[in-house]
Amino acid sequence: MGASLLWQAGKPGITRTADWRVFALSFLGMLIGGVVAIYLFVVLVDPYDIVPFSLPIDRRIVSISDRFMYPQIVRSKRFDSLIVGTSTARLLDPELLDKSFHARIANLAMDSATAWEQQAMIDLFLRTLGPPTALIVGLDGVWCAQDADQHRITFRGFPYWLYDDNRWNDYLYLLNYGTLEIAVRLVGYHLGLYPERRRYDGYEVFVPPESQYDAARAHNTIWAGLPSPRPAIDPAPPLSAAERSQLAFPALAWLDAALARLPARTLKILAFMPIHVAAQPVPGTRAAAVEAECKTRIVALGRAHGAKVIDWGFASPLTGNDANYWDRLHYRVPIATQIAEELGAAALAGRESEDGSYRLLVR
């Protein structure tokens, strides 16, 4: 019997089975060890600055994913004021505004941000830091979208876990390729191998350098698919009282709620951003009438909550000049500087526009 067992143990098939078992267990051990090592690396580097026991390093913005990176700016507690908006407000330089408002402002405007995402940022700021010294809301069409409650986020997705108060659930989302990539970039930044993507106050010049501006190309981009200049049309009948009452702007309820949470000491500014006339509704159309009604309601909200309401979003010498823009939505850096200077003068001193480029709707 003993000799029989020894003979079977020496069979080639049994030996190969044992070898494969050892190989499989070794491979599994290395795989698990590798995953654990990567997870520990991400946790220690902590690119989102959410882990309390991570390495004490300076965490700069090394990603273009603003929805993921901005919560750390809020939680850094370096700022007492904020700007929210879409890319139409991203060129407002906080360093210029800080001087006017005597505040530490973070520009937390995001590319294609929905109104819901903007109110989520305001909510995070309030829950983390309390009422700001100043809140600047860069308004554009997303606040007047009649389906804003149905389209709360974009195709980019939204990291809800970074905007809630539960720090424990954050650990569940750290092990993924995107977070690993940002962690590697952050290490690269400290080694001098990777640049900071934007200033820590959120500001970034995302348009091309001024030296590359081409007026002819900008004109073609702005008016692509549209007649230039716009043809005159017969004014449409104004909306009746019944038609106006039936219009719903869901995002304005979120704006109302956000403003209601702010004390009188907070400087509240609602500023319609200067998109080019080519992106504005054609005067005399129903779309223009709907936008006008939305603006009327925003003005009412401003008055009710003691907010300044300033409008750059209409046909003016600024928005009608192609040379001020890269495309229909994005103005040039010198225009952004002009707006920042006018914003301070209009909101703090009630200064009227010298060339009619903006209107003080609520002082």
* Nearest one of 361, 100, 135 to 267, comparing CA atoms: 135
Token readout for 135 is 């809140």
β-bridge pairing 359-362 and 308-311 = antiparallel
Q: What are phi and psi of 362, to 5 degrees?
A: -140, 120
| Residue 11 pLDDT | 55
Q: What are phi and psi of 350, to 5 degrees?
A: 65, 30
Q: Which regions in the chain score pLDDT beneath 70?
A: 1-14, 16, 232-236
CA distance 361 to 308: 8
**Each residue's pLDDT tens digit, 152-173:** 999 999 999 999 988 888 888 8
Contact call for residues 336 and 93 (beta carbons, < 8 A): yes
- DSSP string for 149-209: TT--S-TT---GGGSSS-SGGGGGGSSSHHHHHHHHHHHHHHTTSS--SB-TTS----SPP
Sign of CA dihedral 140, 144, 147, 148: positive
User: In degrees, to the nearest 5, what angle opens at C-alpha 206 toward C-alphas 204 and 212?
Assistant: 125
- Inter-axis angle of helices 250-260 and 115-129, to 10 degrees? 10
Q: How far is CA 108 from the centre of its chain?
A: 6
